[in-house]
Structure 1
Amino acid sequence: MRRVQERQKIEKGELKKEWKINNRDMLSRFMEVEASDPSVPPFALLVWTSSNITAGSDSTAMFLRAMFYYLLHNPSTLKRLVAEFDEAAEAGNLEDLAGFRQAKDLPYFNACINEAGRMHPPLGLPMERVIPAEGANICGQRLEGGTVVGMSSWVTHHHEQTFGADCNKWRPERWLCEPEQAKYMEKCLLTVSRNIEYLFYPSSTLSLFKF
């Protein structure tokens, strides 16, 4: 908060600092929006900045804990994952500190990430959406415009017709199916559009898997 206030004073000429300011960082862009729109409330700048720093930290941690939990409780899947890492490393396709570009080409690793997000989604609250003015028919039910709807990921992710009869079990192999089926299941996940992108933003490491 102090840094935000200092930047505001610098911009207004109320404070002089020997700083080299990056005028394209997030704070600068937020300040541009604030200056261009009188309707932006005074607290918005701090809220936007704080959200960018803290958002995702707890959910990313939950995601990773879930993955480690299920891998450790299912040694055969852990063994297969480590074997995939070893094979990629021997082929020169995986460094000790691997980033997104290398990780996205590891099919079983991606399958484990998707399965962790499915089994233990970080968010249990309904992802609420508002029905548009013209209304909508959902599952045979007519809903008027303005109706707030939502689904719990803890229910949706255990839908037998989508994820199979063993939907209550940890089985990363379910994601190693036909591409169209995998895309459909990914579309039904109420976590993020691409789980691996979520875990690798802005960066991450696979070194924890190097046993």
Structure 2
Amino acid sequence: MKFLLAAVLSAFALSAFAAEQVHFLNSHLERFSDQINCRIAPNSAVKVQLNGTGLCVAGTGTTVGSQLTLQPCASALTVFNLPRGAPTTPTQLALNDTLSSGGTARCISANGVATFGPLFLDNCQDDQFQRWTVSIEDWTVEGVSGKGTIVNAGSGKGTDCLTAADNAEGSYILFDSCSGRTTQEWATTVVDN
């Protein structure tokens, strides 16, 4: 009888402990689920960093025709705005400094750019050559950052990517066929305006 009572009490204690653990796990799973489904909200300011480096996409100026290069992420002209957010809808990459200046906003454009040609800033017109799908495959939630490719909608095939010529400071940002190489992997991080 004592053995049966001890077994029942042990089972009860284990079930109470198990219930606490299940509750704990469920609460954490809900939080992780929200993080997994994380999106970048429309009109968010972001930095686009070449994965594994401290280098970000930067404008060489704010005028039409200014090209883009890799610069240290703390440099000027490295913050862009995503009017439609990410990753579900193609959006423009508008240089934040041109949005806040009161003048005409400038966006990254591939209009008329040949394969492996340098991308440039143009007046934001929301045409197909200024729309990019910011693919976010691996999230780092604490910094609200996602890693993936940035594909141009203008090619009609969805196969041309934002590409760094190299992983060195000063390298040009090019328009090239998506191939999965490391110079096409970007960490898109939300920043404060």
Task: State the TM-score bracket (shorter-chain normalisation).
Answer: under 0.3
Question: TM-score w.r.t. structure 1 length?
Answer: 0.23
Query: Which protein is richer in helix relative to its size?
Result: 1
Query: Which protein is richer in strand relative to its size?
Result: 2
